[in-house]
Homo-oligomer: A and B are copies of this chain.
Amino acid sequence: MSKAPAEMDVARSGIATAHDVAKVAGVSQSAVSRAFTPGASISERTRKRVLAAAEKLGYRPNQIARSLISGRSRLIGIGVGNLRNPFFSESLEALSVALDRAGYRSLIFPAIERPEVGSSLYDILNYRLDAVVLISTALSQAFSEACALAQVPIITFNRQSTDPNISSVVGENYVGARCLAAHLIAGRHDRYAFIAGGAESSTSQEREAGFADYMAERGLPPPMREESRFTFEGAAAATRRLLMSASPPDAICCVNDYTALAALNVAREEFGMVVGRDISITGYDDVPMAGWPIFALTTYRQSCDDMVDNVVRMIDELKQGQGAASKIVLGGELVVRGSTRTAR
């Protein structure tokens, strides 16, 4: 039994095109395109025939060609920094799943602090991304301008930009840090400290301000302060400096859970302290590990899923051409566990 010419072509070239399907189905190439375009003007009968032929040839519309002509790639760039922080890996996973459901694909790229000119950071813009999401990453002026030129909207996740043209989804950091401060004060500690991230991070700034302001309002002296640079080793070193000082703190508010986990390790293993008795330590985020029995970290919960849902909604809105950037702040809640004492 001899095959139809179109099928033979396909067998030879490997990947079927709309043209091949059209030949097999006995319709025009336009009809093939319409069969794969939801809402396109095509009869049910034709559609069925095209789909049958496509099935037989293993045809699927080439997204690259589609993107070229439509001007939209359905690709979202996601800038990721330090995935060792579980909040970021959790966010990335949740975001990619949510985008996937909404019909977008995730193009991840390493969000380096100071990219060289002509680095790959800019290369991704050549894929005509529908949007760029930066997960907990500082936004360089150069990259921001490149995105504007390429007409790619930027959304910062868990970070804020002062630029009114940039959308963002963040937690209520100032409020959350005040909550943690109030909780620690209720435990009647003697000396308070804050382990920050880095000065360039809006999130770190806001949490530190909330904590320090609350202390000041209660007439307490300014808390001791160290920086972690958001790394485990940085946070461990910051904790050591704090605990080796002449009058060490007995309450440490850390900029996030990852940092707090480092502080907890050092206090317990290097200084032999019982966390929750000799010293109280708080985090921020409520990552799954914070709930591990061995840590039992008191923290302020941010819902990664809520944040992600808002990002996806923003992207959908941007698509509809409702151009304005928006800034969303989401609530959270205090989660008290064993790493803080509540009474003397």
A residues near B, CB below 8 A?
14-15, 58, 60-68, 73, 75, 80, 83-84, 86, 89-90, 92-93, 96-97, 100-101, 103, 105-110, 120, 122-128, 149-151, 232, 261, 264-266, 268-270, 288, 292-294
Contact = CB atoms under 8 A, between A and B. Distances in A.
Given A84-B90, A293-B270, A100 B105 contact: no
A58 B149 contact: yes
Contacts of A101: 120
A96 B82 CA distance: 12
A84 B83 contact: no
Contact of A107 (B90, B107, B270): B107
B265 A84 contact: no
B83 A93 contact: yes
A62 B127 CA distance: 6
A131 to B, nearest CB: 15
6 contacts: A15-B149, A62-B128, A83-B83, A83-B89, A265-B293, A266-B293
Given A84-B86, A105-B123, A261-B292, 18 more contacts: A60-B126, A62-B128, A63-B123, A63-B127, A63-B128, A64-B64, A64-B73, A64-B128, A66-B126, A68-B68, A83-B92, A86-B89, A100-B120, A101-B120, A107-B107, A107-B108, A265-B292, A266-B293
B110 A97 contact: yes
B15 A150 contact: yes
Which of A58, A60, A75 lies at the interface centre, i.e. has the most chain B CB atoms within 10 A of its CB? A60
Tell me what chain A mostly uses at the interface: helix, strand, loop, or mixed. helix
- Cβ-closest 10 pairs across A and B: A269-B293, A89-B89, A63-B126, A58-B149, A83-B93, A83-B89, A64-B67, A64-B68, A63-B127, A265-B294
Contact of A90 (B83, B92, B106, B126): B83
A103 B232 CA distance: 30
Nearest to A145: B58
A84 B288 contact: yes
A108 B108 contact: yes
B110 A62 contact: no
B126 A110 contact: no
B108 A106 contact: yes
Given A84-B288, A125-B60, A15 B151 contact: yes
Contacts of A61: 126
A185 B126 CA distance: 57
B63 A294 contact: no
A97 B89 CA distance: 15
Which of A120, A124, A288 lies at the interface centre, i.e. has the most chain B CB atoms within 10 A of its CB? A120
Contacts of A75: 107
Contacts of A261: 292
A222 B265 CA distance: 36
Contacts of A110: 93, 96-97, 100
Contacts of A65: 68
A30 to B, nearest CB: 19
A122 B66 CA distance: 16
Contacts of A68: 62, 64-65, 68
Which of A61, A65, A100, A151 lies at the interface centre, i.e. has the most chain B CB atoms within 10 A of its CB? A100
